[in-house]
Chain A
Amino acid sequence: MPPKRLLVAPLVILFACKPPTPAEQMDSALSWVATARMAGDAWLRHTTPDKYTREILELCQQTLLQLGTKLLKAPVPGVDTASLDNLLTRSRGHIAQMAALVTAKNSPGFRQQLDSLISDEVLVKQFADSAESKQ
């Protein structure tokens, strides 16, 4: 028993620190764009405080930047890297604007940026589905 137990522990640690595959990174990118959208919806309905909304939007932005860099280095099969990079850059721009508009408490402006982000989300989903099918 003891040797087996000792074997499992390093494996668990290895797994928890294992780098994600390109397909998983695409899913993650979609998840973060969707998060920004859900956070945006929540703020417009006055269900989340300003400080938190700014924080999560900034987190979405940073994470998408890191994911974008990784996806450039390790391209996803079946996905046009340049188009994906443009899309993610555009999404990050919308999210950055949303964060600024939270501070300015500008709801109409925020709504506009959110709508643009929703359109981007559809495209990110298409990329993610394409990556999934090529796996």
Chain B
Amino acid sequence: MKLVRDVLDKKLTDREHCEMGRVSGLIMHAGERSQPRITHILVGGDALWMRIHPWVAALARRLAKMWGPKRDDPVRIPWSRVETVGKDVRLDVKARETGALDWEIWIAKHVIERIPGGGKEEEE
């Protein structure tokens, strides 16, 4: 599998076909005597902004400290949870539990629902 072409930047969906962002990065483990293999998928956050420039990542981190859900560690999903890699990457997880939707939920609760007609972000 060509990692860059087949996995990186692809859309992620969970076991209920809920969209949960895109693959921002991959963590690989290269042992002394073994082939390098992917251990985790990274979603959003630092991994994404670092691909543009470290300064952009630093700015994003500073903004995230002031506003939004407080999350210290990046969203990492074990490679073992990947079910299929096709047009999208399907995962055997529940989107909400991974933290990939933290920003979505935070904005829904703190901004959108406070505006009339915004509706309610469902609690599953």
The short answer to whether A and B are in direct contact, CB under 8 Å, is: no
- Give the interface of B toward A (CB within 8 A): none
